[in-house]
């Protein structure tokens, strides 16, 4: 089974030799025409590969007990793709929920892959006349509030780093907590991306943005670069974050492990924190303590739409608390009810109950 993305060289991929030609053409369209990132294209590749393997199993083209890794979908032609019905897609979504136990967000993403593929087949390449996925709605998803470290937890994390390459790992955490960059953005940084107090970041959809560095980031980078220069012969000298042992660029998984180890050392493990939660932390601290507005935060985080950034408006508890106190009724204390004096008849009745 081919693997689309090369984690050490994200711009490269293996040949699409285990999928139908139509799917291969669609992935090439995503990468070459729509300029989607390799990781995005890889997600479509995995989703569509699973869908067509399910289709062959569901239609009895392979034994019912076949492992998905063993199902060969290379022979699926355009006619088979055209034969897919709305019912097939609903059956697949049911399978994802009950057999694969996919959460709603994962099912929605996989449905999006199918819808995008059939739109390509019908609208962009005119290979099909009917789109079975067109009228299937993607369910609205509940927006969860982002999980983030408090200011105190962030400081504890930086104060409790245990590492055999302290300067590098301190710099990684400092950039995460101050700049709000994604994990994939951090591992892709090259030395040439720096200019004075900025880093050029390549985000989702290969969109570039400048991230400004504060004093803490510049100081951490200064110490790390000094330690990095002492490593000697580097296998990938252009990469900012490298392995002390191999001299190669750190992979995303390795950075995840570094963050996990540092969280554990700070007593913050088991709370659901991750590199992506550090990104949320940076955004939250900027919004709550730095008076950064939504449009500014959108540019810093590299969001395509401000609606994505607006989730951070729900976590500024200080502003919500101040708003609740701002109403003129907020200072009115509990008012005791006026109790009329009991009539002689009511008093006699009460007396009878007491007796």
- Point out the residues that are catalytic: 182, 204, 276, 279, 303, 312
Query: Over the chain, what HEC string results?
Result: CCCCECCCCCCCECCCCCCCHHHHHHHHHHHHCCCCCHHHHHHHHHHHHHHHHHHHHHCCCCCCCCCHHHCCCCCCCHHHHHCCCHHHHHHHHHHHHHCCCCCHHHHHHHHHHHHHHHHHHHHHCCCCCCCCCCCCCCCCCCCCCCCCCCHHHHHHHHHCCCCCCHHHHHHHHHHHHHHCCCHHHHHCCEHHHEECCEEEEECHHHCEEEEECCHHHHHHHHHHHHHHHCCCCCCCCCECCECCCCCCECCHHHHHHHHHHHHHHCCCCCCCCCHHHHHHHHHHHHHHHCCCCHHHHHHHHCCCCHHHHHHHHHHCHHHHHHHHHHCHHHHCCCCCCCCCCCCHHHHHHHHHHHC
């Amino acid at each position: 089974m081919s693997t689309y993305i090369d984690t050490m060289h994200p711009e490269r991929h293996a040949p699409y030799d285990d999928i139908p030609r139509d799917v291969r053409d669609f992935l090439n369209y995503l990468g070459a025409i729509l300029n989607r990132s390799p990781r995005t294209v890889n997600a479509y590749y995995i989703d569509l590969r699973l869908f067509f393997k399910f289709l062959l199993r569901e239609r009895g083209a392979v034994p019912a007990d076949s492992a998905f890794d063993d199902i060969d979908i290379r022979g699926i032609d355009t006619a088979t793709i055209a034969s897919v019905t709305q019912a097939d897609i609903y059956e697949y979504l049911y399978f994802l929920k009950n057999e694969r136990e996919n959460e709603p967000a994962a099912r929605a993403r996989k449905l999006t892959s199918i819808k995008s593929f059939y739109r390509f087949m019908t609208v962009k390449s005119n290979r099909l006349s009917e789109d079975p996925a067109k009228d299937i709605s993607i369910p609205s998803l509940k927006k969860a509030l982002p999980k983030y470290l408090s200011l105190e937890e962030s400081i504890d994390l930086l104060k409790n780093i245990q590492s055999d390459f302290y300067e590098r790992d301190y710099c990684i955490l400092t950039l995460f907590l101050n700049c709000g960059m994604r994990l994939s953005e951090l591992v892709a940084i090259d030395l040439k991306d720096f200019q004075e107090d900025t880093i050029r970041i390549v985000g989702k959809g290969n969109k570039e943005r400048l991230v400004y560095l504060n004093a803490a980031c510049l100081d951490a980078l200064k110490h790390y670069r000094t330690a990095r220069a002492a490593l000697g012969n580097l296998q990938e000298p252009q990469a900012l974050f490298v392995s002390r042992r191999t001299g190669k660029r750190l992979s995303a998984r390795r950075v995840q492990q570094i963050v996990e180890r540092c969280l554990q050392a700070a007593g913050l493990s088991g709370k659901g924190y991750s590199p992506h939660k550090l990104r949320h932390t940076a955004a939250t601290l900027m919004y709550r303590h730095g008076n950064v507005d939504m449009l500014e935060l959108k540019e810093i985080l590299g969001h395509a739409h401000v609606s994505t950034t607006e989730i951070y408006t729900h976590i500024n508890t200080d502003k919500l608390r101040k708003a609740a106190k701002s109403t003129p009724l907020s200072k009115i204390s509990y008012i005791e009810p006026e109790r009329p004096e009991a009539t002689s008849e009511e008093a006699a009745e009460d007396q009878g109950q007491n007796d």
